[in-house]
Chains A and B, each alone.
Chain A
C-alpha cells in the first residue's frame, strides 16, 4: 500500500474518517478491529499453553499469574471483543440471508442491546464470582 492510498483510505475525505462513518461502517470497522485482536489472542493462547503444558508446576504458575486482577480485567475485555464479534457476525449472516436489511440500523442496535446484557452478566460472573469469590456485591 502506497502513502497516497493510505491518505485516500484514512484521510479527511475518506470513508474511514469518523464524521463520514455511519452505523454500518462503524459495525464493519469494529468487526475488523475485534477480529484482529482475537487472532492475536489465539496466537498468545497457544504460546502460553505450550509453555505450561509440559509440567504441572508450570501450569500452576500460569494459572496463578492469570488469576491476578489485571488479567481478569483483560479476560473481561476479551469477552467483550468475542461477544461484539459474535453478535455483529450474526447480524452479517442475517443480512447475507436477506433478513433485516431494510431495518439494518435497528438490527445493529438490537444486537448491541443483547451484547450489553451478556457483557453485564460476564462482568458480574468474572469479577464477583470469579475474582472476589462472591464477596464483592
Chain B
C-alpha cells in the first residue's frame, strides 16, 4: 500500500483554498438562479436572440451572467491548478503555472464579456 497520501495539496496555498470555497458558494447561488430562470421556468420554449436580448435588458441579468462567468473561470482554473499540484505535476514550475493561468483566465474573461455584448446590444 502506498503510505503517502496526496489527497490534500499543501502546495496550492491557503488563499487558493479560501477563494475556491468562496467562489463555490457564490456559484451554487448563481447557478441555482441561472438554471431556474433560464432553463426551468422557460423549459420547452423556443430560445431566440430577441428573447435573450430582452432578458439582458435588465442590469440584474447582466450582473448575474458576468459574475457567473468570472466565478466559473476562477473556480475551474484554480481547481485545475489544484489537480496539477496534487499529482505533483509542474510543482517546480509553480510560478510559471500561476502566471499562465492568470493570463488564460483574464483572456477567457475578456472573451466571455465580448461574446455576450452583441446579445446585450441586440
Q: Are B89 and A1 in contact (CB under 8 A)?
A: yes
**B28 lies within 8 A of chain A by Cβ:** yes
Q: Are A13 and B115 in contact (CB under 8 A)?
A: no
**Residues from 53 to 86 in A contacting B, C-beta threshold 8 Å:** 53-54, 56, 59-60, 63, 82, 86
**B108 lies within 8 A of chain A by Cβ:** yes
**A9 lies within 8 A of chain B by Cβ:** yes
Q: Are B21 and A129 in contact (CB under 8 A)?
A: no
**Residues from 1 to 50 in A contacting B, C-beta threshold 8 Å:** 1, 5, 8-9, 13-15, 20, 25, 28, 32, 35-36, 38-39, 42, 46, 49-50
Q: Which residues of A contact B40 (CB under 8 A)?
A: 125
Interface residues of A (CB under 8 A from B): 1, 5, 8-9, 13-15, 20, 25, 28, 32, 35-36, 38-39, 42, 46, 49-50, 53-54, 56, 59-60, 63, 82, 86, 89-90, 93, 96, 125-126, 129-130, 133-134
Known interface pairs A86-B27, A130-B44; 17 further A-B residue pairs with C-beta atoms within 8 A, sorted by A's residue number: A25-B7, A32-B83, A35-B79, A36-B80, A39-B76, A50-B115, A53-B115, A56-B48, A56-B49, A56-B50, A59-B52, A60-B49, A63-B48, A86-B28, A89-B28, A93-B25, A96-B21
- A15 contact from B2, B21, B39, B48, Cβ within 8 A: B2
**Residues from 67 to 90 in B contacting A, C-beta threshold 8 Å:** 72-73, 76-77, 79-80, 83, 87-89
Q: Which residues of A contact B79 (CB under 8 A)?
A: 35, 39
- B115 contact from A25, A49, A86, A126, Cβ within 8 A: A49
**B59 lies within 8 A of chain A by Cβ:** no
Q: Which residues of A contact B48 (CB under 8 A)?
A: 56, 59-60, 63
Q: Are A133 and B44 in contact (CB under 8 A)?
A: yes
